[in-house]
């Protein structure tokens, strides 16, 4: 097997209400994040009660998660940028250390 | 100014949060009703309206005399009003000799003016002295320091610095600033209305504006140093940070400060906010803009105007930063106070001249002298005015002696009680009006179990939940054996629709959804013009002739394959001729609702790519059509898609060098988009067309279950979409179907009918327990809400067995239209008040075509209720076109999923509509858009009053007011769910938005358990239970009729 070259990056899992999706992706685009994955219709429990993920008529009402892998310094900038948002809204950001093989995919 | 990336992102985030209190503004082509205080729905209604009042400077309740008029007319529940007053009184300390209940009722019902007069200078003792007709107590101890809290509150906080300056120096920066910002917006956001087009718009709002502002001689000559401000940083975030720091606003106050700035022109802000969010909107893709750019532009102008005013006056002592204002308040309190009185326009006229002169001279000693005189004068004025009002009220209740005899403490308590009461008064009236509307509804509900029938109804007809459906449904039911149902007007099928002859998609679903499926409108294939000359025409022709012909329309090809790009760039004239021919008379159409198979999609793609390659060869090498052979095309396609190397036939035909061949292949890939990635994208786009069989079954099943119709289907099942027709009306879309994204609803109706008529769909439905009789036929139809005409579509597909019944059906529909017109005619105040149904109908038809008619129909005005339950519940009463109605049978919904969907969609939309009408009525100038007569269309997406104003949001006065008085009666939406309490409660609990709306009192929720005959009303955190027996109903009716 070929030797793989691992690089460390941060994984951000940004959970927020679907109505703010455009805001969050705009922020990531502005930060220079090159790609992200969006998971819609999350179910789960938080401080506001249980969120159902099956609503058909109202996409703004469901929770979504945006996953992005970014270099460490960028992760800090993004967290600083999200701070004013999360002081007004529910939701969380999980930050974790991960490793990727093709670093070129994750830096702008 | 260099900002770190984190700081820049943080500013973006702050502005996003700051803007959330400003409602979206959709382009008027698809008018969407919206609660203007939507951003405050996480606050209780009572608090939110106060916040809205502060931020948007609008009135949030009707004026007292109008409520008093409603009371006279029996629209306010007197009993409820009295008991609310009693509850209020019980919470206050008793005041000897004063019958507070009597005072407050007299205040509410007999006094037009506010009783409390705002007094900043006069003390309670002063007012009491004036009440007793005594001289004011001698007070030599008045210290200017007393005014500090008042001045700080008024002039600092989140008030924009220029606004404070205007209030202290009469500088009128605010108006000029708004004008400059509006002009910049009009230039940038124009959607083809203006002859001149702002250069550089593709690069974005700030960048295009900056380019012009930097070179704007007019601004330069006026001494505005925009250039210096802009030189500080290239990014809008950098400019914002620079201005905020220069103004001395501490960072923790930025969000609130931004909100105030954004609220100044909330129409424009709402539009840009919407556009920022609507990534697929054509104009936001081509000319991007966001609120960060708007704030940067606004702040730049503001700072430039501030320095201009400072230098214009030749004095540096005017305060142009927040710390300087703070300093002026602290150290020149007297001058600042007098300035604020004078330029804030609260000065007492008798002393205005003297104050003005003293301020103009600027001598400290004189200012001090005038200050004390003014304070004394104002003190007397405030005390007298307040005393007069108190005395008048006391006289009304015959308690003047008691008032005069009060101790200082009791007097103060009384004033306090009155002040608090007037502050809460709006809520008292509102709740009492709602109580009246609730009683009226409950008195009419029918709880009897449904009667069993021995035969199915002649027709079952579904209408949109829209309030205008209530009338037509009632009349239709009255003319024969018609059973009607209410359902969201897009029938639960979110789709994107491409109309024949139009090259763009329309979203036919509530704005809360993004449709995933595309439906194409098609004509039955015509004989084509065989003298077609262009490659495009050949492609279309070939597709039509092939077995896949019926599946594809030219518009779809154009959009899916970017022909618009190719056509417009390469051969505009031929292209336009070709397009024009497509727009010829519209024929009878049907819809492509099925998914394409892989082979069909491949074949369509191949044909179109071939056509594009032929066009490219003709274009690039001027090769005659006869010399272009199939082999050549196949080779080129293969090589462009990377499946082979070289195109020998083309090269030999034209004797091309290897390099020329490679260059052409590259062009095919890059200019004509024949490459693998684009092919993949095109396949994805084709994949959006239509619905799979399972999806169709799912949509039909969901629609039928959600309204409780799963058996005993009639011979005809009519699905009515709705829309309005009026001439010369930018608000026409506001009268169309909200559930269809502000479009007409008949397409959705026809699509669901087409699905439900399919044998395969019915077969699968049967296995799910929905048994649609073989002879039941679904027909798409249209309800024109302006004329009440009911039109059936696709009758050419109706089985021959049904044709005998069509005449009876049409007669019934026509009769219902006539009766409905007759009921509506008086409210339209047309010249002829002919009450005979046929004549009324003709008059209403004429009215719809009158282009000078500012009010073609009353639309959703007077909406008050949403009823989610069986039709039988309200069948026996007229709801006067005031209720949204969604049919629902809880017995078919054991796990509340259907109910959850109804409350997240239709209920939420009804609440938006309700609140938009509420606020547009209570303050039409601020929350509504005032009179249509003065409207000018702005940039093709909105309207302004006069030539230059904020974008007018909300509803025009013609929609909600009648001769200056409210036609719409502003109430919060009264939502009724027919279900056992636990069932309804569980559904509400699981939908957080709706739960918040209920808990925060934005809607009044009632749950009717018809089996137990009990109504549960949600009241301040608890469920009040009330039996709905006949005796109770009669007492409610009695209550109502004694008003």
Q: Say whether B9 and A48 touch across the interface (CB within 8 A).
A: no
pLDDT at position B609 over 90: no
pLDDT band at B935 (very low <50, low <70, confident <90, very high): confident
Q: Say whether B6 and A50 touch across the interface (CB within 8 A).
A: no
Angle at B257 between CA B163 and CA B174, to 5 degrees: 25
Rounded Cα–Cα distance for residues B348 and B351 (Å): 6
Name which of A88, A22, A30, A94 is nearest B3 in CA terms.
A30
Query: A56 near B512, Cβ under 8 Å?
Result: no
Rounded Cα–Cα distance for residues B37 and B912 (Å): 10
The structure tokens 């309700």 sit at B914
Q: How does strand A92-100 pair with strand B459-464?
A: unpaired
Q: Which residue of A has its CA nearest to B251?
A: A84
Contacts of B503 (CB under 8 A, 6+ apart): B555, B558, B559, B564
For B400, half-sphere exposure in the C-beta direction (CA atoms, 13 angstrom radius) is 12
pLDDT at position B389 over 60: yes
A contact test, residue of B39, B904, B988, B1000 with most A CBs within 10 A: B904
Q: Which residue of B has its CA nearest to A80?
A: B6
pLDDT at position B263 over 70: yes
pLDDT band at B473 (very low <50, low <70, confident <90, very high): very high
Question: What residues of B are in contact with residue A55 (Cβ under 8 Å)?
Answer: 900-901, 904, 991
**Three-class SS state of B822:** helix
Hey, what are B861's tokens?
């005005």
**Three-class SS state of A10:** strand
Helix axes B746-756, B693-707, angle to 10 degrees: 110
**pLDDT by residue (tens digit) across B626-635?**
788 888 989 9
**pLDDT by residue (tens digit) across B828-843?**
765 555 568 787 777 7
pLDDT band at B1042 (very low <50, low <70, confident <90, very high): very low
**Three-class SS state of B926:** coil
Q: Which residue of B has its CA nearest to A47?
A: B992
DSSP B349-367: HHHHHHHHHHHHHT-HHHH
Residue B956: the pLDDT is 86
Run of H or E residues at B455: none
Helix axes B254-264, B5-19, angle to 10 degrees: 50
Query: B239 near B232, Cβ under 8 Å?
Result: yes
Which of A48, A81, A88 lies nearest to residue B6, judging by beta carbons? A81
Q: Say whether A78 and B9 touch across the interface (CB within 8 A).
A: yes
**Three-class SS state of B886:** strand
Angle at B211 between CA B207 and CA B213, to 5 degrees: 110
**Residue predicted with more confidence, B826 or B637:** B637
Q: Say whether A58 and B514 touch across the interface (CB within 8 A).
A: no
Query: B159 near B340, Cβ under 8 Å?
Result: no
pLDDT at position B1008 over 50: yes
A contact test, residue of B3, B4, B5, B43 with most A CBs within 10 A: B5
Q: Say whether B277 and A78 touch across the interface (CB within 8 A).
A: no
Q: Which residue of A has its CA nearest to B276?
A: A22
- The number of helices, as runs of H, and strands, as runs of E, in chain B is 44, 19
**pLDDT by residue (tens digit) across B268-318?**
999 999 888 877 777 888 889 999 999 999 999 999 999 888 877 665 568
pLDDT band at B730 (very low <50, low <70, confident <90, very high): low
Rounded Cα–Cα distance for residues B614 and B596 (Å): 25
Residue B604, min C-alpha distance to chain A (Å):
31
Hey, what are B664's tokens?
């052409």
Question: What residues of B are in contact with residue A26 (Cβ under 8 Å)?
Answer: 12, 276, 290
Q: Say whether B901 and A31 touch across the interface (CB within 8 A).
A: no
pLDDT at position B86 over 50: yes
Name which of B151, B172, B157 is nearest B55 in CA terms.
B157
**pLDDT by residue (tens digit) across A27-52?**
999 999 988 999 887 777 666 666 66
- The 8-class DSSP code of residue B29 comes to G
Query: B953 near B266, Cβ under 8 Å?
Result: yes
Which of B5, B13, B512 lies nearest to residue A58, judging by beta carbons? B512
Residue A60, min C-alpha distance to chain B (Å):
6
Hey, what are B226's tokens?
């925009």
Total length of chain B: 1043
Q: Say whether A31 and B990 touch across the interface (CB within 8 A).
A: no
Which of A80, A83, A85 lies nearest to residue B16, judging by beta carbons? A85
Which of B9, B514, B995 lies nearest to residue A80, judging by beta carbons? B9
Q: Which residues of B touch A (CB under 8 A)?
A: 4-10, 12-14, 16-17, 20, 255, 276-277, 279, 290, 488, 492, 510, 512-514, 702, 897, 900-902, 904-906, 908, 989-993, 995
Residue B291, min C-alpha distance to chain A (Å):
11
Residue B23: the pLDDT is 84
Run of H or E residues at A98: strand A92-100
Residue B700: the pLDDT is 95
Name which of B551, B573, B555 is nearest B564 in CA terms.
B555
Question: What residues of B are in contact with residue A81 (Cβ under 8 Å)?
Answer: 5-6, 8-10, 12-13
Q: Say whether B10 and A84 touch across the interface (CB within 8 A).
A: yes
Hey, what are B457's tokens?
């109804």
Residue B38: the pLDDT is 87
- The 8-class DSSP code of residue B874 comes to G
- Write the CA distances from B703 to B474, B489, B761, B766, integer angstroms: 21, 11, 13, 15
Q: Which residue of B has its CA nearest to A18?
A: B512
Question: What residues of B are in contact with residue A23 (Cβ under 8 Å)?
Answer: 13, 16, 277
Rounded Cα–Cα distance for residues B316 and B309 (Å): 10
Q: Say whether A60 and B512 touch across the interface (CB within 8 A).
A: yes
- Return the bridge partners of B1010, or none: none
pLDDT at position B727 over 70: no
Query: In this predicted structure, which of B97-101, B566-570, B695-699 has the lowest mean pLDDT?
Result: B566-570
Total length of chain A: 108
Question: What residues of B are in contact with residue A60 (Cβ under 8 Å)?
Answer: 512, 993
Residue A3, min C-alpha distance to chain B (Å):
30
Query: What are all long-range contacts of B50-53, with beta carbons under 8 Å and residues at least 24 apart?
Result: B51/B21, B52/B919
Cβ atoms < 10 Å from Cβ of B113: 11
Residue B680, min C-alpha distance to chain A (Å):
19
Rounded Cα–Cα distance for residues B353 and B376 (Å): 16
Phi, psi at A75, each rounded to 5°: -60, -40
Separation of CA B288 from chain center: 22
Helix axes B676-687, B598-621, angle to 10 degrees: 130
Name which of B960, B942, B899, B840 is nearest B266 in CA terms.
B942
Rounded Cα–Cα distance for residues B822 and A79 (Å): 63
**pLDDT by residue (tens digit) across B484-493?**
999 988 898 9
**pLDDT by residue (tens digit) across B401-423?**
999 999 999 999 999 999 999 99
Name which of B376, B366, B374 is nearest B350 in CA terms.
B374
pLDDT at position B658 over 80: yes
Maximum distance among all Cα pairs of chain A, rounded to whole angstroms = 50
Rounded Cα–Cα distance for residues B209 and B216 (Å): 10
**pLDDT by residue (tens digit) across B510-539?**
777 778 888 887 765 444 443 334 555 555
Q: How does strand B517-523 pair with strand B589-592?
A: antiparallel
Name which of B750, B269, B738 is nearest B513 in CA terms.
B738
Cα first-last separation, chain A: 29
Q: How does strand B482-487 pair with strand B459-464?
A: parallel
Q: How does strand B517-523 pair with strand A44-46?
A: unpaired
Question: What residues of B are in contact with residue A88 (Cβ under 8 Å)?
Answer: 17, 20
Q: Which residue of A has its CA nearest to B906?
A: A57
**pLDDT by residue (tens digit) across B162-207?**
999 999 998 899 999 999 999 999 889 888 777 677 888 888 999 9
Work out the mean pLDDT of chain B and round it to a whole number. 85
Residue B723: the pLDDT is 85
Rounded Cα–Cα distance for residues B154 and B167 (Å): 10
Q: Which residues of A touch B (CB under 8 A)?
A: 22-23, 26-27, 30-32, 48-52, 54-61, 74, 76-85, 87-89
Cα first-last separation, chain B: 68
**pLDDT by residue (tens digit) across B205-245?**
999 998 888 877 666 656 667 888 888 999 999 999 999 99
Average pLDDT over residues B482-506: 83
Q: Say whether A57 and B513 touch across the interface (CB within 8 A).
A: yes
A contact test, residue of B9, B204, B278, B909 with most A CBs within 10 A: B9
Q: Say whether A49 and B992 touch across the interface (CB within 8 A).
A: yes
Residue B970: the pLDDT is 96
> Is the reported ipTM for this assembly greater than 0.85?
yes
Cβ atoms < 10 Å from Cβ of B494: 23
Q: Which residue of A has its CA nearest to B21?
A: A88
DSSP B589-608: EEEE-BPPPHHHHHHHHHHH
Q: Say whether A83 and B904 touch across the interface (CB within 8 A).
A: no
Question: What residues of B are in contact with residue A51 (Cβ under 8 Å)?
Answer: 992
Q: Which residue of A has its CA nearest to B235?
A: A30
pLDDT at position B925 over 50: yes
Question: What residues of A are in contact with residue B993 (Cβ under 8 Å)?
Answer: 58, 60-61
Question: What residues of B are in contact with residue A79 (Cβ under 8 Å)?
Answer: 6
Rounded Cα–Cα distance for residues B359 and B337 (Å): 11
Cβ atoms < 10 Å from Cβ of B933: 10
- The 8-class DSSP code of residue B9 comes to H
Name which of B259, B199, B238 is nearest B11 in CA terms.
B238
Phi, psi at B778, each rounded to 5°: -90, 135
pLDDT band at B145 (very low <50, low <70, confident <90, very high): confident
pTM listed for this prediction: 0.84
pLDDT band at B625 (very low <50, low <70, confident <90, very high): confident
Percent above pLDDT 90 for chain B? 53
Run of H or E residues at B520: strand B517-523
The structure tokens 């959006």 sit at B688
Residue B344: the pLDDT is 87
Residue A104, min C-alpha distance to chain B (Å):
21
Question: What residues of B are in contact with residue A59 (Cβ under 8 Å)?
Answer: 512-514
Q: Say whether B991 and A52 touch across the interface (CB within 8 A).
A: yes
Residue B18: the pLDDT is 95
Residue B2, min C-alpha distance to chain A (Å):
15
Run of H or E residues at B1017: strand B1014-1019
- Return the bridge partners of A92, or none: A15
Residue A13: the pLDDT is 97
Question: What residues of B are in contact with residue A57 (Cβ under 8 Å)?
Answer: 488, 492, 510, 512-513, 901-902, 904-906
For B206, half-sphere exposure in the C-beta direction (CA atoms, 13 angstrom radius) is 20
CB neighbour class for B84 (10 Å; exposed up to 12, middle 13-18, buried from 19):
buried
Maximum distance among all Cα pairs of chain B, rounded to whole angstroms = 116
Name which of B116, B312, B319, B126 is nearest B221 in CA terms.
B312
Q: Which residue of A has its CA nearest to B6?
A: A77
């Amino acid at each position: 097997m070929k030797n793989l070259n691992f690089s460390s990056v941060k994984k951000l899992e940004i959970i927020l209400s679907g109505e703010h999706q455009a805001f969050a992706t705009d922020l990531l685009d502005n930060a220079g994040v090159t790609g992200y994955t969006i998971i819609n219709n999350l179910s789960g429990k938080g401080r506001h009660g249980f969120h159902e993920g099956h609503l058909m008529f109202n996409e703004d009402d469901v929770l979504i998660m945006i996953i992005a892998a970014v270099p460490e310094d960028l992760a800090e900038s993004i967290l600083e940028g999200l701070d004013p948002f999360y002081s007004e809204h529910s939701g969380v950001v999980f930050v974790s250390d991960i490793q990727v093989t093709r670093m070129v995919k994750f830096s702008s | 100014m260099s900002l770190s990336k984190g700081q820049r992102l943080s500013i973006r985030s702050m502005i996003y949060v700051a803007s959330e209190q400003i409602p979206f503004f959709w382009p008027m082509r698809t008018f969407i009703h919206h609660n203007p205080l939507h951003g405050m729905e996480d606050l209780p209604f009572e608090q939110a309206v106060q916040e809205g009042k502060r931020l948007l400077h609008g009135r949030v309740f009707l004026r007292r005399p109008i409520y008093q008029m409603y009371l006279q007319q029996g629209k306010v529940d007197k009993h409820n009003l009295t008991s609310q007053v009693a509850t209020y009184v019980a919470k206050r300390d008793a005041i000897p000799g004063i019958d507070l209940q009597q005072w407050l009722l007299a205040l509410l019902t007999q006094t037009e003016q506010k009783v409390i007069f705002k007094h900043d200078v006069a003390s309670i003792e002063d007012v009491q002295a004036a009440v007793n007709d005594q001289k004011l107590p001698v007070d030599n101890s008045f210290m200017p320091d007393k005014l500090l809290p008042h001045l700080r509150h008024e002039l600092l906080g989140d008030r924009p610095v220029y606004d404070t300056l205007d209030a202290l120096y009469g500088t009128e920066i605010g108006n000029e600033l708004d004008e400059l910002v509006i002009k910049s917006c009009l230039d940038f956001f124009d959607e083809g209305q203006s002859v001149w087009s702002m250069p550089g718009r593709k690069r974005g709002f700030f960048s295009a504006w900056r380019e012009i502002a930097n070179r704007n001689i007019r601004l330069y000559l006026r001494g505005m140093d925009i250039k210096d401000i802009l030189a500080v940083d290239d990014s809008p975030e950098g400019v914002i940070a620079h201005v905020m720091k220069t103004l001395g606003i501490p960072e923790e106050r930025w969000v609130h400060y931004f909100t105030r700035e954004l609220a100044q022109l909330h129409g424009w802000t709402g539009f840009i906010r919407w556009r920022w969010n609507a990534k697929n909107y054509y104009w936001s893709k081509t000319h991007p803009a966001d609120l960060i750019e708007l704030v940067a532009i606004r702040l730049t102008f503001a700072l430039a105007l501030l320095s201009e005013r400072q230098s214009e006056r030749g004095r540096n002592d005017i305060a142009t930063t927040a710390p300087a204002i703070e300093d002026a308040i602290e150290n020149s309190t007297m001058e600042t106070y007098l300035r604020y009185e004078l330029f804030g326009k609260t000065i007492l006229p008798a002393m205005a001249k003297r104050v003005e002169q003293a301020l103009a001279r600027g001598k400290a000693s004189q200012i001090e002298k005038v200050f004390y005189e003014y304070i004394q004068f104002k003190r007397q004025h405030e005390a007298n005015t307040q005393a007069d009002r108190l005395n008048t009220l006391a006289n009304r209740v015959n308690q003047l002696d008691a008032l005069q005899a009060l101790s200082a403490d009791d007097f103060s308590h009384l004033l306090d009680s009155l002040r608090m009461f007037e502050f809460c008064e709006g809520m008292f009236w509102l709740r009492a009006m709602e109580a009246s509307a609730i009683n009226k509804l409950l008195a009419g509900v029918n709880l009897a179990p449904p009667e069993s029938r021995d035969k199915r109804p002649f027709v079952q007809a579904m209408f949109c939940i829209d309030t205008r459906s209530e009338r037509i449904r009632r009349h239709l039911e009255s003319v024969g054996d018609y059973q009607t149902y209410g359902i969201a007007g897009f029938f639960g099928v979110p789709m994107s629709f491409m109309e024949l002859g139009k090259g763009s998609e329309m979203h036919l679903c509530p704005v809360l959804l993004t449709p995933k499926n595309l439906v194409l409108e098609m004509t039955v294939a015509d004989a084509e013009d065989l003298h077609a000359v262009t490659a495009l025409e050949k492609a279309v022709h070939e597709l039509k002739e092939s077995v896949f012909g019926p599946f594809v329309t030219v518009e779809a090809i154009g959009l899916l394959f970017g022909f618009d790009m190719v056509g417009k760039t390469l051969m505009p004239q031929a292209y336009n001729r070709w397009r024009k021919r497509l727009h010829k008379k519209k024929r009878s159409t049907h819809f492509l609702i099925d998914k394409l198979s892989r082979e069909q999609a491949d074949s369509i793609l191949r044909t179109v790519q071939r056509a594009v390659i032929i066009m490219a060869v003709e274009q690039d090498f001027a090769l005659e059509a006869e010399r272009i052979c199939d082999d050549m095309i196949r080779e080129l396609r293969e090589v462009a898609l990377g499946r082979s190397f070289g195109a020998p036939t083309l090269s030999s035909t034209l004797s091309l060098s290897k390099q020329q061949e490679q260059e052409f292949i590259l062009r095919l890939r890059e200019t004509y988009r024949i490459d693998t990635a684009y092919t993949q994208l095109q396949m994805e786009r084709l994949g959006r067309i239509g619905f799979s069989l399972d999806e169709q079954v799912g949509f039909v099943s969901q629609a039928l279950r959600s309204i409780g119709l799963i058996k005993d289907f009639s011979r005809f099942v009519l699905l009515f979409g709705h829309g309005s027709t009026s001439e010369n009306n930018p608000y026409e879309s506001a009268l169309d179907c909200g559930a269809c994204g502000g479009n007409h609803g008949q397409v959705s109706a026809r699509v669901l009918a087409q699905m439900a008529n399919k044998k395969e769909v019915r077969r699968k439905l049967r296995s799910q327990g929905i048994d649609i009789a073989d002879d039941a036929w679904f027909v798409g139809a249209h309800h024109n809400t302006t004329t009440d005409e009911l039109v059936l579509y696709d009758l050419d597909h109706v089985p021959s067995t049904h044709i005998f019944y069509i005449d009876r059906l049409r007669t019934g529909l026509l009769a219902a239209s006539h009766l409905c017109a007759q009921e509506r005619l008086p409210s339209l105040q047309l010249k002829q008040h002919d009450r005979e149904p046929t004549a009324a109908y003709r008059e209403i038809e004429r009215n719809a075509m009158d282009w000078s008619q500012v009010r073609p129909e009353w639309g959703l005005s007077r909406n008050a209720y949403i009823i989610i339950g069986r039709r039988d519940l309200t069948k026996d009463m007229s709801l006067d076109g005031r209720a949204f109605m969604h049919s629902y049978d809880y017995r078919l919904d054991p796990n509340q999923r259907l109910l959850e969907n109804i409350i997240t969609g239709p209920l939420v939309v009804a609440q938006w509509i309700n609140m938009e009408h509420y606020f547009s009525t209570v303050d039409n100038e601020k929350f509504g858009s005032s009179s249509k007569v003065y409207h000018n269309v702005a940039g093709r997406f909105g309207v302004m009053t006069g030539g230059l104003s904020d974008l007018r949001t909300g509803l025009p006065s013609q929609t909600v007011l009648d001769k200056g008085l409210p036609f719409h009666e502003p109430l919060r939406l009264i939502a009724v769910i027919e279900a056992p309490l636990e069932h309804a409660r569980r559904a509400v609990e699981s939908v957080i938005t709706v739960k918040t709306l209920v808990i925060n009192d934005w809607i009044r929720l009632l749950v009717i358990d018809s089996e137990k005959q009990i109504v549960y009303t949600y009241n301040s955190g608890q469920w009040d239970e009330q039996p709905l027996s006949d005796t109770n109903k009669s007492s409610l009716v009695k209550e109502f009729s004694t008003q």
